[in-house]
Structure 1
């Protein structure tokens, strides 16, 4: 088996969450690599939309930001950002959104606003950007983040982007579409049970239940069908290293 990095495993696993024909709102970094990997492998008809307003993008190289002109390459259309959000996202025309955050809690709520009290925070963060709209209006969201107790508290300090709030019924009562589908970290893949609480669905190779418990801020539960995460294939590793991110801008260039 070819050696791979934690980041490459996260990219590969996130790509597997995408289905052929999905419409996805793409961010830069790992989500962008995951979407482009899916499009080059099992989901050639994946429709990629970027916040800057490019619809049906098929970039010829790695975009460095959502405003990179390469995103217009082979795009079906380029629209104002307001139309991208209003006509596509808020109208419920996007299947999948990728998100990250400084904190993600047991209900999939995301904080990217403040650490500590809102009026007197220990750290002031960038805020939502389009994340709240993505979390509220896509059919499903995929969250990607490193796994640590600080990043995964039982309750976020501030709800920037809603998950299941305090349970699936609470989200439904707010009139929000969809909800978080999976959380992919460098230790495990988590999903959500019938109540909307995050549980561990699979462990990455050489990661134990204790490793995950020690890196999670609540008594996280494990699926009865707990499995081992599928590792990246040689073809996926080659695509990531040689095609998608040859300079290691987001992967760190720490592969073999």
Structure 2
């Protein structure tokens, strides 16, 4: 099994059956659709293009992929999906990716470098800032490296726990913010007081030293660091079948 497969399965396990999930494209979409194909067949997947309860047989290329609309229970306008579903508190969990993330779970998907003359211009915010603000909880899925896990973001696109402590509460956001970051190396959770993300579990074969080396800040490691449960044969088979169908559909 690959590191990406362990990451995707670990993230999928976070989604309980029956939960309403606002899904981002990429790694979050793979995890959410794997959950629906395995232990959570009744979860309701929502994409920001307005597809409610969608059941794609392959992973969508974008939020505008026809597969999402063709398999949805309902199609609504973009203002409705945000105003009625997200900002009204009807989303249990938001699954997000990131280009950069800091120790408090703040996310950058806008630019790398100076905003006026960036080294890299990224895809942008999309609905991520609203998801980060209003979903009851947020799960972040991304590969861990010093380029992604940075001491200081080039730009704050979506707020996590702001400056740590109770600083998020001062912004008035209704959602609780990111509850977990799942990477290809392990699982990080926020300290209950400082809200700084701490490595609490490492994937099989990954050491704390390796996770520290892949992090741009001085990563804290839990005293009782555990090892994540490896994917089962059934989970791996479902994920690989999903990816193979996607490969055949999209070439």
Fold conserved between structures, TM > 0.5: yes
Separation in structure 2 between the aligned mates of residue 158 and residue 29 of structure 1, nearest angstrom: 21
Aligned counterparts, 1:91-110, within 5 A: 91-110=88-107
**Does 2:182 align with 1:192?**
no
Match of 1:179 among 177, 181, 204: 177
**Does 2:216 align with 1:225?**
no
**Shift of residue 147, structure 1, vs aligned partner:** 0.9
**Shift of residue 122, structure 1, vs aligned partner:** 2.2
Separation in structure 2 between the aligned mates of residue 23 and residue 248 of structure 1, nearest angstrom: 24
> 1:200, 1:222 within 8 Å by CA — same for their partners in 2?
yes
> 1:190, 1:201 within 8 Å by CA — same for their partners in 2?
yes
Separation in structure 2 between the aligned mates of residue 28 and residue 77 of structure 1, nearest angstrom: 19
Separation in structure 1 between the aligned mates of residue 73 and residue 182 of structure 2, nearest angstrom: 30
Separation in structure 2 between the aligned mates of residue 72 and residue 46 of structure 1, nearest angstrom: 17
Match of 2:35 among 15, 28, 38: 38
Of 39-48 and 185-194, the range deviating more from structure 2: 39-48
Unpaired stretches in structure 1, ≥5 consecutive residues: 250-256
> 1:60, 1:73 within 8 Å by CA — same for their partners in 2?
no
Could you say what the CA RMSD is over the residues aligned between the two structures, in angstroms?
Answer: 1.8
| Change in 2 beyond 3 A, CA 1:178/1:28 | same
Aligned length: 247
User: In the alignment, which residue of structure 2 is the partner of 1:207?
Assistant: 206
User: In the alignment, which residue of structure 2 is the partner of 1:163?
Assistant: 160
> 2:46, 2:53 within 8 Å by CA — same for their partners in 1?
yes
**Shift of residue 73, structure 1, vs aligned partner:** 3.9
**Shift of residue 117, structure 1, vs aligned partner:** 2.2
**Shift of residue 76, structure 1, vs aligned partner:** 2.1
> 1:241, 1:248 within 8 Å by CA — same for their partners in 2?
no
**Does 2:230 align with 1:235?**
no
SS of 1:227's equivalent?
strand
**Shift of residue 248, structure 1, vs aligned partner:** 6.3
SS of 1:212's equivalent?
helix
Aligned counterparts, 1:42-191, within 5 A: 42-176=39-173, 177-191=175-189
> 2:51, 2:68 within 8 Å by CA — same for their partners in 1?
yes
Separation in structure 2 between the aligned mates of residue 168 and residue 28 of structure 1, nearest angstrom: 30
**Shift of residue 71, structure 1, vs aligned partner:** 1.5
After superposition, what is the alpha-carbon deviation per residue over 1:55-80, rounded to whole angstroms, capped at 9, x for unaligned? 11122333222212222344221101
After superposition, what is the alpha-carbon deviation per residue over 1:176-227, rounded to whole angstroms, capped at 9, x for unaligned? 1210011111111111111210000101111111101111111111123310
Unpaired stretches in structure 2, ≥5 consecutive residues: none
> 1:114, 1:122 within 8 Å by CA — same for their partners in 2?
yes
* 4+ long deviations beyond 6 Å: none
